[in-house]
Structure 1
Amino acid sequence: MEITVYLAGEIHSNWRNELKEKAKSLQLPLHFTGPMENHDRSDMIGEEILGKQPDAIFRDEAASSINNLRTQLLMQKSDLVIALFGEKYKQWNTAMDASAAAALGKPLILIRPKELHHPLKELSSKANVTVETVNQALKVLSYIFETE
């Protein structure tokens, strides 16, 4: 049995590759998907498809509609969502994706540092599991496949 995991969260650090490499080394039957990790492509996809937009607001709206479609489709096809809240970047997209996963009834693992416990307490209560590190999330994934 292979599980499809949607990896929501910031796209500026290497956390996805770290998780994927460790899952591969453990030979876990996982398939990963997630948002467009090329930030410039994500920001410019609206103009690439729809043509030059009159200003930055229209450019953002055009890109957002396409990125939201991508997220909705890939998340709906996933079996599980992992949402990482880092310490450095604004987390609006992560919060939106984690909330969407909860609303869809998708199993959800939140990764968030201890310092973000209070601002994320309601979202943590909607998640199936809340952990503080990528390694802890990987241990949860690994446990799913244990038989004894």
Structure 2
Amino acid sequence: MKLNVYLSGEIHSDWRAQIIEGCQKEGLDISFSSAVTNHDASDAAGDGLGDEQNSFWRDHKSAKVNAIRIKHLIENCDLAVIRFGEKYKQWNAAFDAGFCAALGKSYITLHDESLVHALKEVDGAAQAWAQTPAQVVDILKYLTTQA
């Protein structure tokens, strides 16, 4: 089975690369997509719509432009992996999880045990909770190789 997997969330570590490389090593037929992970580029996504002196409106425009990409990718994925990291609060990732749940899209949360309480509702709607990228690769291997 070929899967289209959307990778959402934290952008300050190499978790995406670990999952992609792990799946490649296993020879899995999976295509991956993601939001823009270059923080400066993401923040500037709406700059073409005109200069903003107020940071709220700059962020607002950029969020809307970024949402075009994210909405399309989530609507067209088979499942999503949503990563929550320790250092920053990923409100966008929580939003993506809710969007997946509303669409009936399967998703896997990826975070360490220290966030279990904070993410209890997000995890409650997920089909799996993984603590490492290797665990995600194991799940994806199972999904794509079982007859």
TM-score band, normalised by shorter chain? over 0.9
Cα deviation code 1:31-82 (max 9, x no counterpart) = 00011011101001101x2121232111111101001111111110111000
1:59 match:
58
Corresponding position of 2:40: 40
- What is the distance in 2 between the residues matched to 1:100 and 1:18? 25
Where structure 2 has 5 or more consecutive residues not aligned to the other structure, the ranges are none
* Structure with more relative contact order (C-alpha pairs < 8 Å, separation 6 or more): 2
- Code of the aligned partner of 1:36: V
SS at match of 2:60: helix
Q: Summarize deviations over 1:99-130 as a string: whole Å, max 9, x none.
A: 11111110111111111111111111100111
2:9 maps to what in 1? 9
Gaps of 5+ in 1: none
* Residues 1-148 of structure 1 aligned to structure 2 (within 5 Å): 1-47=1-47, 49-147=48-146
Aligned-residue CA RMSD (Å): 1.2
- State the TM-score, normalized to the length of structure 1: 0.94
Range moving further from structure 2, 135-144 or 50-59: 50-59
* TM-score between the two structures when normalised by the length of structure 2: 0.95
Q: Name the % identity.
A: 39
How far apart are residue 18 of structure 1 and its match? Answer: 1.1
Q: Distance in 2 between matches of 1:146 and 1:18?
A: 19
In structure 1, distance between residues paired with 2:126 and 2:95: 13
User: Amino acid of the residue matched to residue 90 of structure 1?
Assistant: K
Cα distance in structure 2, aligned partners of 1:141 and 1:84: 15
1:126 partner letter? A
Three-state SS of the structure 1 residue aligned to 2:129 is strand
CA contact (8 A) 2:18 2:134 kept: no
- Counting matched residue pairs gives 147
Distance 2:68 2:105 in 1: 17
CA contact (8 A) 2:3 2:144 kept: no
